[in-house]
Amino acid sequence: MSENFDELIHDFVQKYIEVVESGFESRWSQIKPEIYHNYIHECIGALLSRQATLTIEMAKAPSTWNGHVAPLFLRCMIDAYIALAWILEKPKERSKKYILYGLGQEKLFIEYLEKALNEEPDAYDAESLKQMIKIRKAWLNSQLAEWATEVNVGSWSGMSTREMAKEIGRESIYQYAYVPFSGPVHNMWQHVGIYNVHQCLNPLHKFHLVPKIQHAPIHPDFMYRSAKYMAITFEIFDKKMGTKSDVILPDVFLLSHPLFAVDDGNS
Partner 1 sequence: MSKRKRNKEKRWKLLDGHKKVGKRFVPPMMQLPMNTSVSYVNDMLPELVWIGLLNEKIGYVRAARVLEKIFLMVEDVKDTEQHGNFALISTFNLLNDDQKISLREKLNEEGLLELLQDTLAPLTLLYENCPLSFLGPPSSVYTEEELVAILKKCVGRVINKYDTPGVLLNGAMLLSRLVTKTIKFLSDINLPDFNAVINSPGSDEAKHAAGFMRAYALGEFGTLKVDTSWARHFWNQSFELSPCEFSREISSE
Which listed residue (198, 221, 256, 258) binds partner 1 by CB under 8 A? 198
Which stretch, 32-40, 84-92, 208-216, 234-242, contacts partner 1 (CB under 8 A)?
A: 208-216
Stretch that binds partner 1, among 10-18, 192-200, 231-239, 243-251 (CB under 8 A): 192-200
Nearest-approach distance from CB 108 to partner 1, in angstroms: 26
DSSP code for 145? -
Q: Of 154, 158, 147, which is closest to residue 105 (Cα–Cα)?
A: 154
**63 belongs to the binding site for partner 1 (CB under 8 A):** no
Shortest separation between residue 243's beta carbon and partner 1, angstroms: 37
What is residue 199's three-state secondary structure? strand
Cβ nearer to partner 1, comparing 202 with 266: 202
Q: Does 201 bind partner 1 (CB under 8 A)?
A: yes
Convert 61-100 to b/e letters by CB count within 10 Å (16 or more is b): ebebbbbbbbbebbbbbbbbbbbbbbbbeebeebbbbbbb
Residue 93 CA to its chain's centroid (Å)? 23
145: contact with partner 1 by CB under 8 A: no
How far apart CA 142 and CA 58 sit, in angstroms, is 32
Among residues 215, 244, 262, 264, the one that binds partner 1 under rule CB under 8 A: 215
d(CA 219, CA 60): 15
Is there binding between residue 219 and partner 1 (CB under 8 A)?
no
Residues that bind partner 1 (CB under 8 A): 198-208, 210, 212, 214-215
